[in-house]
Structure 1
Amino acid sequence: MNSPRHVPVLLDRVVALLAPALERDGAVLVDATLGLGGHSEAVLSRIATARVIGIDRDPAALELAGARLEPFGDRFTGVQAVYDELPDVLADLGLDRVDAVLFDLGVSSMQLDVRERGFAYAEDAPLDMRMGSTGMTAADVLNTYSAADLTRVLRDYGEEKFARKIAGAVVREREREPFTRSGRLVELLYAEIPAPARRTGGHPAKRTFQALRMEVNDELAVLRRAIPAAIAAIAVGGRVVVESYHSLEDRLVKQAFTAVTASTVPPDMPFVPAGHEPAFRLVTRGSEKATPAEISENPRAASVRLRAVERVTDKGVAA
């Protein structure tokens, strides 16, 4: 098995955004997408007052992150769960509120770099792409979905211009032999995507593999439940920080943050009456992006969009 690398995106900026919420004794961060624990390690190292609850659906990630974070003792607690199960995780740990929640969305470095997981298109591997160990695989999607459903997945989640053409080819080719490995899918994509399009926008398989991964793991539906759950769990002075890598993810985050930071007071009113303040304030202006220097060092940072909000009052958002 290949050994995974781990390069957290925007690490210093993320820790800086989390720090004001965690600089008190016993402050709790939920790292909702633990991965290999890079963000959690930085928080535990740099913010002596913080505890971290790390959530990941992938038992392999939890094992590796747990070993990495073992030196921090009981300041770290790992939990196997999907991040939309946040309310249940906190209830099981006896916590009503936490001080920060971090989401680093998308596929982790570990999943991309370990060939056997089937997330990467650079090497031939089984078409799995599950972030956990249950549920349908990418091969199941390719071999059972109708052409219309495959087109929808590739178009909506991969923003693939040739979605219909690719879906038709998949349906045709699976009649000859079911899809089981990534190499065969990559060959099909090279055959179906016109040469001029293959020369721009990165690897021609990138969009299809992203789309399959998002479908297999039901990522948007999970996120749609998880962001409100995180918002509800935050104590006054606490923050929710989200790194998104896909326009649909970022749109969901932006909508949720806009809803809790918007004022209901008429715009021509000269002041905001007591009790009518928004429950949260925006910490970032719009979405922040990686610098050219960071992208050069870590190409996975190219598409990141970073947003953060802070709770300023308990009013206005159901707990």
Structure 2
Amino acid sequence: MTHLRSPLHFAALLTTLVLLPAAAAQSTQEAGAAQSPRFGVPENYFGRFGGVTPILELDAKNDVTRIGLGGLPLPTEHDLRFTVANRPEQNLWDYSLSTRMNNTTYLVGIENDVRRAEVLHNPYTGPQFTGVVREKGLSELSAGYAFTALNGQAYIYNKAGLAASGERREPFTYSQVGTAYTEKVGGVSFRVAPLARLYLYPFEGKAHSSAEVLVSATATPTPQLLLEASHLERFAAGESVIPDYGQARAQETSLYATYRLPYAGDPAFGVGAVRGGYTHNWQNDWNYYRGDLFLRSNLLPVMVGPRAEYRVAPDGTGQWVYGFVTLGK
């Protein structure tokens, strides 16, 4: 079996996979200007490529375990998205077809050899509905309601339903309350976002709760340079009968610096931005150092490129991990 072991190989492959659909669509549209083909593309087709997401997962040895593209737009009037990914080690293919209309997402497909179907009705406020059916793993059927309070400053969401995970079938209720405060001091914008969650399992007489706060600050010393800092603090209590709903203690700090190269227009191809990042996980004392390179093309509404990440364990040993990232223009 052939493995994609070289980071340059899979970075080049993903770049090609991202650019080819857009290039083909553009060629089709240009050809349509000269003649009237039977099959064309919608006028807003190119704008849909902003939702394309590269898929790249690696194991501890940096062998590719999953590679593909998510959210590829089909050339149809209605916005249909196709996701395809290969798992080389298992010789499996993941694929799904999804769309969204009237605040509702519909999805059918197969992931890791598990068939699934999903219907999610989730407007920002109002009635909510979740219907997720999988052959294995977590399935959920629930309904609820979301609304705002305090002149829109607080967001509240409650739902009740039935969850299935493994051999368990468990009724549950879920409540979420969150808010956010923003303030600008000089050239720095601050944001504080607390969030509380509560799961209740009435038949088991158990509850699982968590409370967290995300504090962030951003600054733009120059039009091209963006500096970001954030810290997450989360506390959890109780026992989650459904493990998938469980929240754990979290304590993490991140720093990022992004520099966008100035362009008078949108180039056919070039370097669009570079980004450096650092994350420290206080819970397990891991450190993560990241470097991202974003390539820009007028074929795509977003920038794409490779990521190199160096992870340092508590004992001082390090490991390189490679990935693929996107950034808005």
- What range is the shorter-chain TM-score in? under 0.3
- Write 1 or 2 for the structure with the bigger share of helix: 1
Identify, as 1 or 2, the structure richer in strand: 2
Relative contact order (C-alpha < 8 Å, sep 6+): which is higher? 1
Provide TM-score, normalisation by structure 2.
Answer: 0.22
> TM-score with structure 1 length normalisation?
0.23
